[in-house]
Amino acid sequence: MPLSFGGLYHLATNGLIARQLDMDSISNNIANIHTAGYKQSRINFQELLNNKEISGTYAACTQSGTAQGVLSITNNPMDWGIEGAGFFGIKLPDGTLGYTRDGTFSLDKNGNIVNSSGYKLDWTGTIPADADMVNVDTDGTIRARVNGEWHDAGSVKLSIFNNPTGLESAGSNIWKASDASGAAQTGVPGSENFGKIRGYTIESSTVNVSEEITHLIRTQRGFQSIARALEKTDNMISQAIHMRQG
């Protein structure tokens, strides 16, 4: 069954919107090429059916990858990278927990361990006011140095999910649990199913620039092709109106 002019318009505009969303996702990946712990993401599209005929696509969800990023050694004891599965828990301003692989932490003026956005790390313990250095062991034990001696200050656990690709973005490289991801399961770093924490280490972004640029070129060409099709459809409608008036 041939498509009407209205159907052609619908397919074309739907295709433009889908490719614009795809380009936004690609741009976000490229912008985060140097963001610690960032996972390359993509938009999953599904076909829309109308009376068993394809009538376009829609963005079903945004899916984040789970590949391990390269662990780079730094000179900062508060840089903590995760080797293996797991996320750090982050206390968000609304009182809920977010989750991140970005372990670039620091101490605020009150002795709280915070991320680059100033959100507190979810852990158990207290940093002594006179501590001059803080470090972490592979099992999540947090140690503080006071007067040249190291003392246990507490511990941090990692969280894993049945389906980490189903996590929802909360911005600032933080994710939140969803029905698709399942509830967080916490455990000791280095135990079964949980990764280890490496101090003086940062996990690099998993964005592959070559893949993203290639994807961007394909998407732009698709956008341009649909735009030309939409323009031709508009011209055909204009000619049909003139012939009818004429």
Q: Beta strand pairing status for 80-83 and 185-187?
A: unpaired
125 burial (CB, 10 Å; 0-12 / 13-18 / 19+) is middle
Is a pLDDT exceeding 90 seen at residue 75?
Answer: yes
**Does residue 167 contact residue 34 with C-beta atoms inside 8 Å?**
no
Euclidean distance between CA atoms 207 and 63, whole angstroms: 13
User: Considering the chain, what is the average pLDDT of its residues?
Assistant: 90
What is the helix (H) or strand (E) element at residue 44, kind and residue range?
Answer: strand 41-50
Each domain of the chain, given as residue ranges in start order, spans 5-66+207-245, 71-201
Q: Minimum mean pLDDT among 43-57, 64-78, 98-112, 223-237: which range?
A: 43-57
Is a pLDDT exceeding 50 seen at residue 87?
Answer: yes
Please give the average per-residue pLDDT across 104-119, as a whole number. 95
Please give the average per-residue pLDDT across 209-222, as a whole number. 92
Q: Would you state the torsion angle of the CA atoms of residues 182, 184, 185, 190, taken in this order, to the nearest 10 degrees? A: 120
More confident residue, 171 or 73: 73
Is a pLDDT exceeding 50 seen at residue 1?
Answer: no
| pLDDT one-digit tens code per residue, 162-190 | 999 999 999 899 999 999 999 999 999 99
Euclidean distance between CA atoms 9 and 7, whole angstroms: 5
- Give the predicted TM-score (pTM) of the model: 0.84
**Does residue 69 contact residue 195 with C-beta atoms inside 8 Å?**
no
Q: Minimum mean pLDDT among 113-122, 160-169, 201-210, 233-242: which range?
A: 233-242
Euclidean distance between CA atoms 65 and 154, whole angstroms: 31
State the pLDDT at residue 73: 97
pLDDT range class, residue 55, cuts 50, 70, 90: low
Residue 228's nearest CA partner among 56, 65, 8 is: 8
Find the farthest-apart pair of alpha carbons in the chain and give their distance in angstroms, rounded. Answer: 95
Q: Minimum mean pLDDT among 54-63, 89-98, 102-111, 158-167: which range?
A: 54-63
| pLDDT one-digit tens code per residue, 35-48 | 999 999 988 877 76
pLDDT range class, residue 6, cuts 50, 70, 90: low
The CA–CA distances, whole Å, from 118 to 23, 73, 110, 189, 210 equal 30, 23, 12, 23, 33
pLDDT range class, residue 61, cuts 50, 70, 90: confident
Euclidean distance between CA atoms 82 and 98, whole angstroms: 16
State the pLDDT at residue 52: 62
State the pLDDT at residue 18: 85
State the pLDDT at residue 51: 65
Please give the average per-residue pLDDT across 87-100, as a whole number. 97
State the pLDDT at residue 115: 97
Euclidean distance between CA atoms 181 and 165, whole angstroms: 7
State the pLDDT at residue 3: 58
* Positive/negative CA dihedral, 9, 10, 15, 20: positive
